[in-house]
A and B are shown apart, each in its own frame.
Chain A
Amino acid sequence: MAERNPKVVGFCCEEHGIECANLAVRSGKQYDVSVRLVRVPCTGRVDGIHILKALEDGADAVFVLGCLEKNCYYDTGSIEGRKRVDYVKSMLSQVGIEPERVEMFNASSSMAWKFSEIVSKMTDVAKRLGPIEPRGDGQ
């Protein structure tokens, strides 16, 4: 198994998701280079297929970061995002992939510490579990 750096992808909503990350970063917090962020208007936009494709494209772990429930800029968006993440987790269990590779988080724009915690947690998962083992028939 080739040694390669862990890969984590985070889908962050343009409202509180990315603001939480920005506040963390503008409070001097550094984070692991294994995390790359993709912006979406709302985590409700995130479909299971984006998470699965990200895993297929080589991500070891994927997180979705949205507004706190009941404080979503689009009212119910982060609740929808969580439903999608839960659905993907159950699908992963069924095909023998660890569901903890995919996780949903909620934060607000004043929680600088939370982004660091999310990054730590997901990079730990990525390092611990490593790349998803390809199946023998090249799938």
Chain B
Amino acid sequence: MKRSIQVVICRICSGAANVLDTDKLLRVASEAPYVGSAIAVDYACNTKTIAQIVEEAKDKEIDRLLVVPCSKNEVSPALFQSYKRKAKINEFLMEAVDLVSEVVLPHRDEPSKAQAKAEAKLLAAIARMAMLEPLQKGSEEMRTKNVVIIGAGVAGVEAAKRAAEAGLHTILIEKSDKEVKAPGVVMPRSRLISAKGHAGNYELTIEAGEKMEALECGAVIVASGGDWSEAKGPLVRACPEAKPLYKLAQELSSGNIPKGGVVIVDTPDPKADTTPAQDFAWEEALQCAIEIKKRESGTDVCLMFQEMRALGLAELSYKEAAELGVRFVRYDKKRPPKIDSKDKNRIVVIDSAQEQAIAIAFECLYYASIAPNPDNMAIAEALRIPMNDSGGVRRGSMQKGPIATPRPGIFVCGSAQFPRSEEMSRLEGRAAGALAAQFVSTGTVEFGGSVAEVTPEKCSACLTCVRTCPYEAPFIGVAGKAEIRLQLCQGCGMCVGICPSKAIELHNYTDDQLSAEVASYIGGDF
């Protein structure tokens, strides 16, 4: 079929009629090469008008459509569907030309110049459309509707529950052998070793005990959490009986209220260069302090911190704790608290509020601590997702939301990203479960269309594309040349822009197509 474009100009709802001479636009369009039909209508979303447009398209053997639409700047869904079904036009050969935002709105006060620009833009769009190729999207069934969750902590279990509520089968990979109450399958003493495949059809290799197991799933949730184990730091070295804060919470809930002095420090390593914000700890620390004071008002409780991060409603607990007699000491990182060298049960610190050194006696010392999970690096490498500066797994851009990683189908929640309170971890787990469920529930995965393709003869296998792509789409195939995994390609064109041999093209955004558009648009007077 020869290339033949139908140009449809919406006169009224684009506002074009008041700034531009739409008759002249129509004339310019109809005289352009490859244009088989040019019509101006009042509203191209009107059913009768659509029928007329499509009839004309079939008569003139049109194979591609260019619309100057209203301010919604899209080919109206009804027109799009009609074209696809009745005129059998390829969906990638239907584009809108946004004259509203680019000409009508910004250049109202200069109608003659606006006219010139509108004509140039239309001709450039026609030049581009004439060069486009029909493209096909592919789709693949998800072989399973499993959701694999790495880490059976607070976030992971909540994610499993939420995904199960949506009817999905969940598999929790847990490195320890603790008891886990969760729906689906729990694999104890297991670790993620490697991952292949793409969103919708991942193939994971899990080391379960001593065996290697293969797992298929549609989505992966990283909920590996932080490292709550006894942490290192000068305070812990000097006072080996010091315990992490969560142990205090456990003791209180089993009824052991300390009678001797309690000191809670915000970190075991106060001089550490970048202390992750211990927000999660402050609600817990305040609750523990309040409970101790309520049950044993004689017990001295002291909280030591660099910043009193009682966020939001926890501020009310701060007030309550202070009224109950809990002592608060703020210190400066440069003058951190130290265990008294002469008395292991005394902690010495310069109280910033008083600028004085004070010594606090204690029977039990607790520290809030959470370190990044040391396994995060291995997990991130296996899944090919990036890490952040705090040793956690990074989420993607804010555009994608707080739970998604840059790779489709992989989500991150809880302290795996950044230290979180229990409540926040639960919520993030739930959100991750909801997002994974929504992703997998469709059952199919679409790909292709406007994606990248390598011309092997031009490829010098320099690996630049492989290193640049955030989605792992390019790889060096058996022929020793780069190939693009269609199911992973997101159509951004980064590899295309960077390839030094110009061996990759992005379908419908090829160099020739872009050049033709630019040359047409900026040739002539502005």
Contacts and interface: CB of A to CB of B under 8 A. Distances in A.
A–B contact via C-beta, under 8 angstroms: yes
Interface residues of A, number: 45
A57 B101 contact: no
Interface string A9-50: 100000110000110011001110110111011101111011
Contacts of B106: 25, 29-31
Contacts of A21: 101
Interface in B466-498: 468, 470, 490-494, 496-498
A58 B514 contact: no
Contact of B509 (A25, A45, A59, A74): A45
A34 B497 contact: no
- B interface residue count range (under 10 / 10 to 19 / 20 to 34 / 35 or more): 35 or more
Given A41-B506, A47-B511, A74 B490 contact: yes
A71 B397 contact: yes
A16 B523 CA distance: 27
Contacts of B509: 40-41, 45
A40 B101 contact: no
Given A5-B526, A38-B518, A75 B101 contact: no
A94 B110 CA distance: 38
B199 interface: no
Contact of A25 (B105, B110, B400, B519): B105
Nearest to B517: A38
B215 to A, nearest CB: 26
B518 A41 contact: no
A33 B470 contact: no
A73 interface: yes
A76 B471 CA distance: 11
A107 to B, nearest CB: 13
Given A26-B101, A37-B102, A45-B492, A53 B518 contact: yes
B518 A57 contact: yes
A53 B120 CA distance: 18
A54 B518 CA distance: 7
A7 interface: yes
A74 B518 contact: no
Contact of B397 (A7, A50, A67): A67
B189 to A, nearest CB: 34
Contact of A4 (B114, B400, B521, B525): B525
A104 interface: no
Interface of B: 101-102, 105-110, 113-114, 117, 120-121, 386, 396-400, 406, 450, 468, 470, 490-494, 496-498, 506, 509, 511, 514-515, 517-519, 521-523, 525-526
Given A42-B494, A53-B518, A73-B399, 11 more contacts: A6-B526, A22-B101, A30-B108, A36-B117, A36-B121, A36-B521, A44-B498, A50-B515, A53-B515, A59-B522, A67-B397
Interface of A: 4-7, 9, 15-16, 21-22, 25-26, 29-31, 33-34, 36-38, 40-42, 44-47, 49-50, 53-54, 57-59, 67, 70-77, 80-81, 84
